[in-house]
Amino acid sequence: MRVHLINPSHLAFGVAVITPRWLYVLAAATPSEYGDPAIVDETLVQLDPDTVSPGDVVGIGIHSGNALRGYEVGRQVRDRGAKVIYGGIHATLYPNEALELGGAHAVVKGDGDRIWPAVIKACLDGNEQSIYEGGRVEGGSLLKARWDLLPSERYMWASVQTVRGCPKHCSFCSVWRTDGQKPRVRSSDAVIEEVVELRRKGFRFIALADDNFYPVAMSDLRMADRRADKSTLNNLLAIRAERFELMERLAKLPRDLVFFTQITMEAAEDPEFLKAMKKANIKGALVGVESVTPEGLKDVYKDFNFAGEELVTRLRAFREHGVHVLGSFIFGLPSDRPSTFEATAALAQRAEITFAQFVMLTPFPGTVDFQRWEEDMTKEGTLIAGIPITRHWLIPQGQRPKVYSPHPVMSADEIRFRTQAVWDEFYSLPNIWRRSSCTPNLRARMAFVLISKLYRQMYANTGIATDSARVSRAERWARLLAPPTRRLFAAPPMPDLQVPN
């Protein structure tokens, strides 16, 4: 009997940018009596079903984007006589769907870290339940990943989680509902040990793969301080202190280690935090800008963000502290107009952000937006390929719409073309080359150009284009660019590196 862990994907690039952390965490949760699990990340290469034998146990993690492929894999391995267990955000939201469509014997809702061994055992004993509640595991109990199982020369960046959960409540995001609004902070010991292990193996770039690396904003502290009962304030101050302690310890690691994380724009008002990030060599952060207009921010319940020139100042504050911004923008909001696209492109240049992604508004399950959209669309009863549009993740990939909500003034195609044009402009070679001047030497500059082009091919062309020729071209380009880009990110291993005191 063997345990298999599978990250499904309908596209495989041979080399991936970031390690899918959950695979290696669940590997750590797999009891040693079953041996090392076989790990398949289909963003590298697709599963060979012949590797699965009758009586094996197969764990499949799904989000809405890869659920359809996940169900296909599940049915395939069930037909081969394996026990099939689903987990992940999508399975948490729609456990019955995995049972009905994915050949599941069992589904785990919530975190798998603690419940996984019991589910495997029940499957092997033949007395599994259909649905398990994994709950939300406390920060101190979140497991270290089994990085010893990582295949060599396949990933550019490793990923380590330092905190789970986000206190905000953006309408397009499901994180605060699935991972909770209470930040669950891991101890700095656990984080540093993982980072050291990864640097020993030759990883120099590490994503701190958190829902929100800045879970306590200055405004949260001010609000808590106004209350007579100071327990919330003390709790928030303790979380903040733990963040600083972690950054202090990251700063003691070899200086060639570079970190990247995900953060809210509120951090721009906290120079002490930005200085600590700089000292810790956290050189990049994905910042959810979403919209450059106040109306757009209201559309997504993100009125703690800024718009216009104030937004430019905030984004520049990151850069002034040595933190490069990957700005994330959403197009297709009800308040967007044709002029919003140009205004966004211009602002992205003016604010000197280093990377950007321009996504089209998609109602993802588990979000407030989805709830409202589902109610409206259910009345209309639209079907695509025989599937209700309200279950869009089940529509075959090539037939999935790219724009889901009718827009008050623009057609779906207009939003798509304009979004594509903003990607083209931001990632034109002259613009990439100009931005690459922020790097210290020619090798770094080359890495910057390659990763920019790769990012564009992997995410824009495969995500926005509707014609299959363009998608396959992008896939081919990404396959070609990925191996040399990975080599530029690697560093000589440091097998003797020790955890600093």
Judge whether 198 and 209 are in contact, CB under 8 Å: no
Smaller CB distance to ligand SF4: residue 44 or 175? 175
Closest distance to ligand SF4 from the beta carbon of 211 (Å): 5
Distance between CA atoms of residues 302 and 168, nearest Å: 9
Instruction: Kindly give the pairing relationship between strand 184-185 and strand 282-290.
Output: unpaired
Closest distance to ligand SF4 from the beta carbon of 65 (Å): 16
Smaller CB distance to ligand SF4: residue 242 or 290? 290
Sheet strands (E) in 385-463: 387-388
Closest distance to ligand SF4 from the beta carbon of 459 (Å): 17
Closest distance to ligand SF4 from the beta carbon of 76 (Å): 33
* Total count of residues recorded for the chain: 501
Closest distance to ligand SF4 from the beta carbon of 16 (Å): 22
Judge whether 260 and 204 are in contact, CB under 8 Å: no
Smaller CB distance to ligand SF4: residue 247 or 287? 287
Smaller CB distance to ligand SF4: residue 115 or 326? 326
Distance between CA atoms of residues 288 and 303, nearest Å: 12
CA-based end-to-end distance of the chain: 42
Closest distance to ligand SF4 from the beta carbon of 243 (Å): 16
Q: Element (H or E) spanning 379, and its range?
A: helix 368-380
Smaller CB distance to ligand SF4: residue 166 or 274? 166
Smaller CB distance to ligand SF4: residue 30 or 174? 174
Phi-psi region of 349 (alpha: psi -120 to 50; beta: other; left: phi over 0): alpha
Judge whether 76 and 102 are in contact, CB under 8 Å: no
Closest distance to ligand SF4 from the beta carbon of 390 (Å): 22
Closest distance to ligand SF4 from the beta carbon of 367 (Å): 9
Greatest Cα pair distance in the chain: 64
- Coil, strand or helix at 197: helix
Judge whether 342 and 303 are in contact, CB under 8 Å: no
Closest distance to ligand SF4 from the beta carbon of 331 (Å): 16
- Coil, strand or helix at 19: coil
Instruction: Kindly give the pairing relationship between strand 16-18 and strand 155-160.
Output: parallel
Q: How many CB atoms lie within 10 A of CB 436?
A: 18
Closest distance to ligand SF4 from the beta carbon of 328 (Å): 9
For 12, residues 6+ apart whose C-beta sits below 8 A from its C-beta are 42, 43, 44, 45, 46
Structure tokens of 98?
């995995």
List the beta bridge partners of residue 157.
18
Structure tokens of 126?
């033949």
Distance between CA atoms of residues 49 and 51, nearest Å: 5
Closest distance to ligand SF4 from the beta carbon of 159 (Å): 16
Sort 10 into a burial class: Cβ within 10 Å, 0-12 / 13-18 / 19+: middle
Smaller CB distance to ligand SF4: residue 176 or 355? 176
- Which parts of this chain interact with ligand SF4 (CB under 6 A)? 166, 168-170, 173, 175-176, 211-212, 264, 288
Smaller CB distance to ligand SF4: residue 41 or 369? 369
Smaller CB distance to ligand SF4: residue 272 or 303? 303
Smaller CB distance to ligand SF4: residue 57 or 207? 207
What does the radius of gyration of the chain's CA atoms come to, in whole angstroms? 22
Smaller CB distance to ligand SF4: residue 74 or 139? 139
